[in-house]
């Protein structure tokens, strides 16, 4: 017959797992309260584990992966993988703003400051083009717009297998409130480009970048984020690789004729 001490120990073993899961869920809600902007799954998981290393990572996963379903009256997902408390949900009229110091810095920075750095990054960092030039303005004299950066990819003399020339275009935006417009412009560039990049500020809201990530995958557009406050060190980071497609060569040739000397000479 089990002793009273044995009975208490068995009872603890039965009750303890429930206590652990409740502690994890409570900690998750506490952390979300500390981060009004929300936390991605991986961030929330790491922060919970950091508070108590005795927690089993798999147990944490089981407690938080569907946190919005467990607490539908408290937690929601503004985008895939991002958890946020309902009380911190932005209103429809809320406009995201940069901190005062960041705004002051941003006022001194222009979008054109990032054209040359991105052209250099395309050529030397990821080697997606053999030559690229800053463009912008209304060089193509077309209401469909002119890319901020245009590059070409040509086979090298040393290449055994040579491919056709490809045109790569990029739309760069420093304003976080113009992401939808920027995406539309990037889509238009597919008319004459083999590959297109959309380059947006890392300071954008997480759910906005998440939506762009999904849209870019659907439309085959490359997605890159950067520090819109630092032209000297923009730290371009690629999220989605652009898919190659065949543009309408009529428009490709028409537009390239306007920049032939600068891009092909």
Concatenated DSSP letters for 200-260?
EETTS-HHHHHHHHHHHHHHT-EEEEE-TT-SS----EEEEPPPP----HHHHHHHHHHTH
Given the DSSP bridges, would you call strands 166-172 and 195-201 parallel, antiparallel or unpaired?
parallel
Question: 192 in helix, strand or coil?
Answer: coil
Ranges of the chain whose pLDDT falls below 50:
8-9, 11-16, 92-106
pLDDT value of residue 190: 97
Q: Are 205 and 183 in contact (CB under 8 A)?
A: no
Q: Which domains does the chain have, with CATH numbers?
A: 4-88 (1.10.10.10), 104-264 (3.40.91)
pTM of this prediction? Answer: 0.68
| ∠ Cα 146 147 152 (to 5°) | 120
Question: 107 in helix, strand or coil?
Answer: helix
Residue partners of 158: CB distance under 8 A and separation at least 6: none
pLDDT tens-place string over residues 182-192: 999 999 999 99
| ∠ Cα 147 149 153 (to 5°) | 110
196 backbone dihedrals φ, ψ, rounded to 5°: -135, 140
Q: What residues pair up with 72 in beta bridges, in sequence order?
A: none
Q: Is the dihedral of CA 212, 213, 218, 224 positive or negative?
A: positive
Cα–Cα distance for residue pair 5/245, rounded to 1 Å: 72
3-state secondary structure labels for all residues of 109-153: CCHHHHHHHHHHHHHHHCCCCCEEEECCCCCCCCCCCCCCEEEEE
Cα–Cα distance for residue pair 238/87, rounded to 1 Å: 32
């Amino acid at each position: 017959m089990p002793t009273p001490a044995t009975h208490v120990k068995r009872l603890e073993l039965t009750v303890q797992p429930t206590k652990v899961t409740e502690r994890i869920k409570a900690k998750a809600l506490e952390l979300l309260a500390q981060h009004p902007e929300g936390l991605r799954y991986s961030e929330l998981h790491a922060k919970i584990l950091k508070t108590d290393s005795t927690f089993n990572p798999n147990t944490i996963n089981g407690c938080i992966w569907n946190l919005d379903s467990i607490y539908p009256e408290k937690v929601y997902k503004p985008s895939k993988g991002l958890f946020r408390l309902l009380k911190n949900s932005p209103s429809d009229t809320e406009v995201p703003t940069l901190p005062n110091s960041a705004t002051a810095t941003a006022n001194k920075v222009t979008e054109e400051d990032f054209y040359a750095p991105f052209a250099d990054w395309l050529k030397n960092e990821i080697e997606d083009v053999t030559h690229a030039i800053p463009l912008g303005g209304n060089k193509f004299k077309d209401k469909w717009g002119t890319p901020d950066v245009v590059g070409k990819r040509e086979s090298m003399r040393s290449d055994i297998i040579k491919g056709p020339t490809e045109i790569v275009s990029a739309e760069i935006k420093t304003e976080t409130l113009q992401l939808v417009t920027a995406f539309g412009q990037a889509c238009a560039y597919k008319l004459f480009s083999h590959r297109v990049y959309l380059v947006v500020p890392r300071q954008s809201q997480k759910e906005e970048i998440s939506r762009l990530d999904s849209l870019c995958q659907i439309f085959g557009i490359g997605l890159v984020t950067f520090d819109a406050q630092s032209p000297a060190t923009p730290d371009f980071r690629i999220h989605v690789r652009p898919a190659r497609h065949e543009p309408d060569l009529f428009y490709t040739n028409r537009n390239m004729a306007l920049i032939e000397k600068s891009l092909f000479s």
